[in-house]
Structure 1
Amino acid sequence: MAKLELQHLKKQFSNQVIPVKDITLEVNDGEFLTLLGPSGCGKSTLLRMIAGLDQPTEGKVILGNRDLTTVPPGERNIAMVFQSYALYPHLTVFDNISTALKLRKISNPEIQTRVYDVANRLEIEHLLTRKPAQLSGGQRQRVALARALVRNPEVFLLDEPLSNLDALLREQVRADLKQLFNSQQKPVVYVTHDQTEALTLSSKIAVLYQGYLQQLASPSEIYNAPANQFVAGFVGSPQMNLLCLNCRDNQAILGEFQIPLPPLKTQPSKIVLGIRPEDIHLGTWEDSDHLEAQIFLVEDLGKEKLLNVRIAEFDQRIRFLVPAQQTWEGETVKLSLSPQRIHWFDAESGDRFS
């Protein structure tokens, strides 16, 4: 068992592109860390530096008490699962899984035992004589996972392994992955831009943007207490409403509605209010402290409807969820915001007001 540490990692390419600017984090035994962020934020580059496929410009990769920064990939005892599966097309499933063991000159009886054991756990033992062209996408992904598991590495790295699967299969394999790595008790670093994967699989999430770490926390904390506007807007579907409001007399002004501000050292002239679509509800016309809004679009999501509304004299749209069976009259409705579910952010820095 070993702890993975990344210390002030930076990667700069010769064309002055700097995908990773300064990343420091730890992954303990049994932790499942997801690197989450949009394309170009540096998450795959970071994974490649851990694997040794790219050398950092600055910083260190530490595993246990061993500095791996300059150690070749083949000597790191780290297994990586690629987005493209990277299977040998001319080899059978058995040979694809056992390749790394043969290179390490492990005895044939032990190879047989380990391959059949991991194939049984991934339910692909009936595919061992087939070649990759005879497999479905989900089966190929399981073979790629088996090839990583059979090595019994110190760290698992996965680079968007589910992105090539259809939605239904992705959901099934995601559940299998969670069970599988819960039993491994090894550090796992998983790269994705899919927030559903990150929230459901992870024990910790590292949200990256423009090469910097925005927040490192549990899925619950990332969702319920985002560190800044970027995290708030990136994590959650439908996306959090982020409204830049004027402030007056310790209140934020939203149309004709005034919302009390949290305790602040000084009152800003503007503040960003964040509230998730599930924390806004339809009010009644008898309520005087509700927002009046005009519906301009209704999106049917099956079990829920996503209402898009505009508030009088307010430019931005607000989106909120209602149950599929919810009804209303006309195109004008009243909204109720849950005060305890409002998030406040600095309009200039984007940082969260605690």
Structure 2
Amino acid sequence: MAKLELKNLRKQFAHNVIPVKDVSVNVNDGEFLTLLGPSGCGKSTLLRMIAGLDEPTQGQVILGGEDLTNIPPGKRNMAMVFQSYALYPHMTVYENISTSLKLRKVDSIEIEKRVNDVSNRLGIQHLLERKPGQLSGGQRQRVALARSLVRNPDVFLLDEPLSNLDALLREQVRADLKQLFESQQKPVVYVTHDQTEAMTLSSKIAVLYDGYLQQLASPTEIYMQPANRFVAGFVGSPQMNLLTLDCHDNQAILGEFGLTLPYLQTSPKAVVFGIRPEDVSLGEEADADLVEGQVYLIEDLGKEKLLSVRINGSEQTLRAVIPADLLWESEQVKLSLSRKQMHWFDLESGDRLN
């Protein structure tokens, strides 16, 4: 068992630049953890501290009960896949994959066996005599993965490995990655700002912002019960509707309409109301609050349409995802807001209220 533990990690550079402020996370065997967040939130710095490429200002990196914090990267049995692939251009694919084993003085027969095994699994056995300059982006990415897999490491680290691929190829390689790491049963730490990658690949997601861990949970929980306003707005496409509303008599006031507040210990003067566009529907529905407004923008998403509706008596806008073939009679429409899918956040702290 190779449980990875990150305890109170912090990294401070010169001029008081602190990309990682206090992060604690555990990753068990077979778990796929994605570090998700916008550029500059500390994802890659955290990954580099796990790999040993950056030394923490404080905190510990523990693997299988052993403190690796002061152990150099070459002596940590971890494999890292970089965004840039980092292949040796003068070496063949076979040589690129086998280099780390040769440095560890692994027997040549064992090296050949491992390289053939991993190249067969990744479908690159016919490329072993080529050089990186003769490969496509997807093929180079598979070679970079093969180089990490052949080592049989305790932990896999991946730093935005799909960002250089086009959309169609990214989807294909993403599916390959999911199957590949499910069979490895090793801790995987994956860095991305792409929420689709995070939702489809991960067994759990760590959402980071401004150097702090905002939420650590399964993809389903991150999506259905975001811990705060930032997570709610960052995860989901189209983005969640987030509106600041005044409160009166246990209702949040949206234009001419009142939305039913959940039970709260205190009665706030204002809240941030959230609802995902797919939970807003045209017409009247059961167990929903009804509002009305004017459609002023229609975006065609293919199988669906995204409507932007300005609510009567307000400058506030709600967006709704509806089926592409759904029609309505006028620019004035009724919207049903599912009470079960409403989210409420504290105006000051941004924390979830319900």
> So what's the TM-score if we normalise by structure 1?
0.98
Q: Which aligned segments of 4 or more residues in structure 1 are displaced greater than 4 angstroms?
A: none
Q: Secondary structure at the match of 2:184?
A: coil
Instruction: Give the stretch that moved more between structures: 311-320 or 53-62.
Output: 311-320
Give yes or no for contact 2:256–2:314 (8 Å, CA) kept in 1.
no
Q: Structure 2: how far apart are the matches of 1:59 and 1:251? A: 45
Q: Secondary structure at the match of 1:271?
A: strand
Partner of 2:333: 333
Give yes or no for contact 2:223–2:232 (8 Å, CA) kept in 1.
yes
Q: Structure 1: how far apart are the matches of 2:93 and 2:329? A: 60
Give yes or no for contact 2:289–2:339 (8 Å, CA) kept in 1.
no
Q: Secondary structure at the match of 1:205?
A: strand
Partner of 1:210: 210
Give, in angstroms, the shift of residue 317 of structure 1.
Answer: 1.8
Give yes or no for contact 2:77–2:155 (8 Å, CA) kept in 1.
yes
Give, in angstroms, the shift of residue 121 of structure 1.
Answer: 0.2
Q: What is the correspondence of 1:61-210 to structure 2 with a 5 Å cutoff?
A: 61-210=61-210
Deviations 1:80-101 (A, max 9, x none): 0000000000000000000000
2:29 matches 1:29: yes
Give, in angstroms, the shift of residue 15 of structure 1.
Answer: 2.1
Partner of 1:247: 247
Q: Structure 2: how far apart are the matches of 1:289 and 1:269? A: 20
What percent identity do the matched residue pairs reach?
Answer: 74
Give, in angstroms, the shift of residue 74 of structure 1.
Answer: 0.4
Give, in angstroms, the shift of residue 312 of structure 1.
Answer: 2.0
The letter for the 2-side match of 1:240 is M
Q: Structure 2: how far apart are the matches of 1:90 and 1:326? A: 58
Q: Unaligned regions of 5+ residues in structure 2, if any?
A: none
Partner of 1:236: 236
Give yes or no for contact 2:289–2:338 (8 Å, CA) kept in 1.
no
Partner of 2:51: 51
Q: Structure 1: how far apart are the matches of 2:313 and 2:102? A: 70
Q: Unaligned regions of 5+ residues in structure 1, if any?
A: none
Deviations 1:256-305 (A, max 9, x none): 111121111110000111100000000159xx962111111111000000
**RMSD between aligned alpha carbons?**
1.2
Give, in angstroms, the shift of residue 248 of structure 1.
Answer: 0.4
The letter for the 2-side match of 1:48 is R
The letter for the 1-side match of 2:343 is H
Give yes or no for contact 2:255–2:316 (8 Å, CA) kept in 1.
no
2:6 matches 1:6: yes
Q: Structure 2: how far apart are the matches of 1:166 and 1:14? A: 36
Q: Secondary structure at the match of 1:100?
A: helix
Partner of 2:261: 261
Q: Structure 1: how far apart are the matches of 2:312 and 2:330? A: 16
User: CA 1:59 to 1:317, structure 2 compared with 1: closer, same or farther past 3 Å?
Assistant: same
Partner of 2:314: 314
The letter for the 2-side match of 1:28 is N
The letter for the 1-side match of 2:136 is S
Number of equivalenced pairs: 352
Deviations 1:173-224 (A, max 9, x none): 0000000000000000000000000000000000000000000000000000
Q: Structure 1: how far apart are the matches of 2:32 and 2:266? A: 40
User: CA 1:172 to 1:253, structure 2 compared with 1: closer, same or farther past 3 Å?
Assistant: same
User: CA 1:85 to 1:289, structure 2 compared with 1: closer, same or farther past 3 Å?
Assistant: closer
Q: Structure 1: how far apart are the matches of 2:215 and 2:10? A: 17
Q: Structure 1: how far apart are the matches of 2:84 and 2:289? A: 54
The letter for the 2-side match of 1:244 is T
Q: Structure 1: how far apart are the matches of 2:265 and 2:343? A: 17
Deviations 1:300-337 (A, max 9, x none): 00000001111123223211100011111221111011
Q: Secondary structure at the match of 1:292?
A: strand
Q: Structure 2: how far apart are the matches of 1:229 and 1:269? A: 17
